[in-house]
A and B are shown apart, each in its own frame.
Chain A
């Protein structure tokens, strides 16, 4: 009967197509985990494409960095780690390293020396915050504002967040204490170099939350990096904190009426970790890739696609123009001297010790 034949033929065809598709898996390829969006695109352009062309290794992008810690734990438990290289924030790298999920590396041995001849350790300097962490970029959390909603006096200081008289309207802040409590204390009159001392005391933590309490009803809390740019574009908020690369994109690439502050920006690092106990052949491939992708030129190349600063000191002079807009990128880097006159470098040691405690207090305050 016709129907039967058609059904059977189509079954055979689809199954055959499926089989053909699953063939050739796990050949010369590598799964690299990153954040997605413009950030992944910058890595593809600066690292993946040239590397694939050079070596023929196929790179598969997995945009799962947001849940990297939990997924790596699950993979480890299931005994089936399918990731070869994972892009994480410095704080997550420290956690994964402590839990033994990330491989410890010797920077001078694994990474290329700087183009200016300095050793990798010297070249990366302070950004080598953990034995497992291979730094890539410096980014900052900072504040953007609607230029058409702030009148004739655009904000110049971070404390504009807390000034609802001069800048009425909603503001977006990250739904976690890191960054917010430092800014709160700074604007409550604590000297910058005493902030972490004050924050280490219960009274200091109360004080920070009390300062945040003054604007609580005006705050929209964000959790994904894309939230604040969307809210700014909508005109839903007058100002909001987000990553400096997001603000650059909103201002320079999307031409929205938005301005940004560099005052009291919170500097942070992002980079690679290699999962522990990879099989020999995969490990060799990853090591070769990492050496290539973190050399002086490659880190400088990435800055042509996104406004995050290269983690190597030797890359800074090589930062050129934006790949499509053609504007010089150096002045949009958080590390540019003009922007870095007043910066916080996230204090990883402090947060490693106090994170759970302050997180709990912050969450309790949020639902109050």
Chain B
């Protein structure tokens, strides 16, 4: 982005107090960690205020100043908490160095329109900070799991060795356990045998239902749609209990086919929703053109309609796959021990024996999920580009 507003240096009363406020905020954490909240807040505020003044009024040179503050705070962190403190200190030093000159030189104002009032400028940054905080809040629990899965001990604990970045504190043994332990391998195999078949069924039925329901002449379209989507809305435990008693009566409970059918029922709504959304942009004159040229409906579907709605079908299928792959409630009811899936194994593992193997599996599953969702996003972009909805 180009600069929108000419900038000028700000008054010390502004940048020093803002820097001090940030210092006080981070001082809360450091102060609590060291035993005194008040001392942390005051110390942080005063330290940062003094540093801001010294850097801008005494040293003046920005490059030198920013290196100086980074080194200074990093050494402070090292003295307080060893190597991890050093890393956190480097980050804080870099951040405050950036912050002080960003405010002092007035750079914060450059990329936002000149007509905004100071309150609007404040809100502009507050909004972004809140969004960032929400993102951190959502993602941190997932990130914490990853380093813990390399724990050399059998507990969910950051050991002193791990915090010192001592290689002895890390190990791949939980990954090794996952790949060599029969219970985990059986669970993995079951998941891989259940999810693809359930996905195929979901995709086949869901796509047909979506195409049928998008025809204007079908009666009770809304009611049928509501029934088909209901597995997404009804609490899972209720569907699961219902399926349990029904499947028990017809002899499907505790069978492979039973679990596949149950998961297919859960996956169908995802396929219907994504395919229906794709069909909104589908031009029906294409099917009429195909019919006009002598193609029968089946040929028309496979050669005209299917390729165009394929991105919707595939992303629906991926959601159906992840649903089946991550599902624990229904399989606990409908399945028996012979169909124990990965989430089931994780569930009992968490209850009976808190072993970091669960974290290793969680890490692997997170990576698989990220890959699948990336594929979905790429497909979505491709389909938008093909239909000219967004610039390439």
> Which residues of A are in contact with B by a Cβ distance under 8 Å?
1, 3-4, 10-11, 14-15, 17-18, 21-22, 25, 31, 33, 35-40, 60-64, 66, 74-75, 77-80, 82, 224-227, 229-230, 233-234, 254, 256
How far, in whole Å, are A37 and B183 apart by their CA atoms in the complex?
A: 11
Q: B128 in the interface, Cβ–Cβ < 8 Å?
A: no
User: From residue B46, how far is it (CB to closest CB) to chain A in Å?
Assistant: 33
- A-binding segment of B222-230, B283-291, B347-355: B347-355
**Is B337 in contact with A226, judged by CB distance below 8 angstroms?**
no
Chain B residues with Cβ below 8 Å from A3 are: 302, 306-307
Number of B interface residues at 8 Å Cβ cutoff, please give it.
Answer: 36
Task: Write the nearest CB–CB distance from A252 to chain B, whole angstroms.
Answer: 13
In the complex, how many angstroms separate the beta carbon of A366 from the nearest chain B beta carbon?
21
- Which segment, of B55-63, B149-157, B166-174, faces chain A? B149-157
CA A230 to CA B355, docked complex, whole Å: 10
Residues of A near B306 (CB, < 8 A) are 3-4
Report which residue of B244, B337, B349, B353 has the largest number of chain A beta carbons within 10 angstroms of its beta carbon: B353
A230 touching B155 in the complex, CB below 8 Å, given contacts A36-B351, A62-B337, A82-B254: yes
Q: Does B193 contact A (CB under 8 A)?
A: yes
**CB of B245 within 8 A of chain A?**
yes
What are the 6 A-B residue pairs with the smallest beta carbon separation, nearest first? Answer: A37-B353, A62-B337, A78-B248, A36-B352, A37-B352, A80-B248
A230-B155, A254-B155 known; A22-B257 Cβ under 8 A: yes
In the bound complex, what is the Cα–Cα distance between A75 and B253 (angstroms)? 10
Contact B349 A36 (CB under 8 A): yes
Q: A82-B254, A82-B336 are in contact. Are A35 and B155 (CB under 8 A)?
A: no
B200 interface residue per 8 A CB criterion: yes
Interface string of B248-263 (1 = CB under 8 A from A): 1100011111001000
Which residue of chain B has the shortest Cβ distance to A10 in the bound complex?
B200
Cα A74 to Cα B332 in complex, Å, equals 13
A14 touching B245 by the CB < 8 A rule?
no
| B319-353 contacts to A (CB < 8 Å) | 336-338, 340, 348-353
What would 30 A/B residue contacts be, using CB atoms closer than 8 Å? A1-B302, A3-B306, A3-B307, A15-B197, A17-B193, A18-B197, A18-B256, A21-B256, A22-B256, A22-B257, A25-B338, A36-B349, A36-B353, A37-B353, A60-B337, A60-B338, A62-B337, A66-B351, A66-B352, A74-B244, A225-B352, A226-B351, A229-B155, A230-B155, A230-B157, A233-B157, A234-B155, A234-B156, A234-B157, A254-B153
Residue of B nearest to A66 (CB): B351
Q: Contact: B337 with A61, CB < 8 Å? A: yes
The CA of A4 and the CA of B302, in the complex, are separated in Å by: 7
Beyond contacts A18-B256, A226-B352, A233-B153: 10 other A-B pairs, Cβ-Cβ < 8 A, are A1-B303, A22-B255, A22-B257, A25-B338, A31-B337, A64-B337, A79-B249, A82-B254, A226-B350, A256-B155
CB-CB < 8 A to A62: which residues of B?
336-337, 340
User: A230 contacts which of B302, B336, B354 (Cβ < 8 Å)?
Assistant: B354
Bound-complex Cα distance A4 to B353 (A): 47
A233 to B155, CA, bound (A): 7
B196 at the interface (CB under 8 A from A): yes
In the complex, A61 Cα to B182 Cα: how many Å?
A: 12
The residues of A that contact B154 with a CB separation of less than 8 Å are 254
Q: In the assembly, what is the distance between CA of A10 and CA of B196, in Å? A: 10
- Known contacts A14-B200, A36-B348, A63-B348, A21 near B244 by CB under 8 Å: no
A18 engages B193 (CB within 8 Å): yes
Chain A residue nearest to B196 in the complex (CB) = A14
Query: How many Å lie between the Cα of A10 and that of B260 in the bound state?
Result: 17
Query: B177 CB to closest chain A CB, in angstroms?
Result: 12
Distance between Cα atoms of A298 and B70 in the complex (Å): 65
- Give CA–CA (A39, B352) in the complex, Å: 9
1/0 per residue, CB under 8 A from A, across B295-306: the answer is: 000000011001
CA distance A4 to B349 in the complex (A): 42
Report the Cα distance A12→B200, complex, angstroms: 10
Q: How far is the CB of B211 from chain A (nearest CB, A)?
A: 16
Q: Which residue of B lies closest to A234 (CB)?
A: B157
Q: Could you say which residues of chain B place their CB within 8 Å of the CB of A1?
A: 302-303
State whether A38 touches B353 (Cβ < 8 A). Answer: yes
The residue in B154, B204, B337, B349 that gathers the most chain A C-beta atoms within 10 A of its C-beta is B337
Query: Is A35's CB under 8 angstroms from B352's CB?
Result: yes
- Cβ distance A24 to chain B, nearest Cβ, rounded Å: 11
Contact indicator per residue, chain B 46-75, by CB within 8 Å of chain A (1) or not (0): 000000000000000000000000000000
Q: Assess the B200–A11 pair: CB atoms within 8 A.
A: yes
- With a cutoff of 8 Å between Cβ atoms, the chain A residues found around residue B354 in the complex are 226-227, 229-230
In the bound complex, CA of A11 to CA of B154 (Å): 42
CA distance A335 to B348 in the complex (A): 29
Are the CB atoms of B351 and A78 closer together than 8 Å?
no
Collect the chain A residues with CB atoms within 8 Å of residue B337's CB. 31, 33, 60-64
A113 to chain B, nearest CB (A): 32
Set of chain B residues within 8 Å of A35, measured between Cβ atoms: 352
**Distance (Å) between the CB of A36 and the closest chain B CB?**
4
Distance in angstroms from A214 CB to nearest chain B CB is: 27
In the complex, chain B residues whose CB is within 8 Å of the CB of A17: 193, 197
Contacts of B155 in A (CB 8 A): 229-230, 233-234, 254, 256
User: Could you say which residues of chain B place their CB within 8 Å of the CB of A38?
Assistant: 353
Question: From B349, which residue of chain A is reached at the shortest CB distance?
Answer: A36
A233 and B154 alpha carbons, distance in the complex (Å): 9
Minimum C-beta distance from A229 to chain B (A): 7
Does the CB pair A82–B153 fall under 8 Å? Answer: no
Q: Of B156, B197, B253, which one neighbours A14 at CB under 8 angstroms?
A: B197
CA distance A280 to B196 in the complex (A): 37
* Cα–Cα distance between A288 and B338 once the two chains are bound (Å): 22
**A294 vs B42: C-alpha distance in the bound complex, in angstroms?**
68
- Evaluate contact between A78 and B253: CB separation under 8 angstroms: yes
Q: What residues of A have a CB within 8 angstroms of the CB of B197 in the complex? A: 14-15, 17-18
Interface flags, B237-274, vs A, CB<8A=1, else 0: 00000001100110001111100100000000000000
List residues of chain B with CB within 8 A of the CB of A229.
155, 354
- Across the interface, do A25 and B348 meet the contact criterion of CB distance under 8 Å? no
CB distance from B6 to the nearest CB of A (A): 55
CB distance from A33 to the nearest CB of B (A): 8
Nearest chain A CB to B338 CB, angstrom units:
6
What residue of chain A has the Cβ atom nearest to residue B190's Cβ? Answer: A21
- Known A-B contacts A62-B336, A229-B155; A78 and B245 likewise in contact (beta carbons under 8 Å): yes
Q: CA of A35 to CA of B351 in the docked complex: distance in angstroms? A: 10
Complex Cα–Cα for A230 and B157 (A): 8
Q: Complex formed: what's the CA distance from A268 to B153 in Å? A: 30
Residues of B within 8 A of A4 (CB): 302, 306
Minimum CB–CB distance from B197 to chain A (whole Å) comes to: 5
Report B-chain residues with C-beta under 8 Å of the C-beta of A37: 349, 352-353
**Given the complex, which residues of A lie within 8 Å of B340, measured CB to CB?**
62
Interface centre among B204, B254, B350 (most CB of A within 10 A): B254
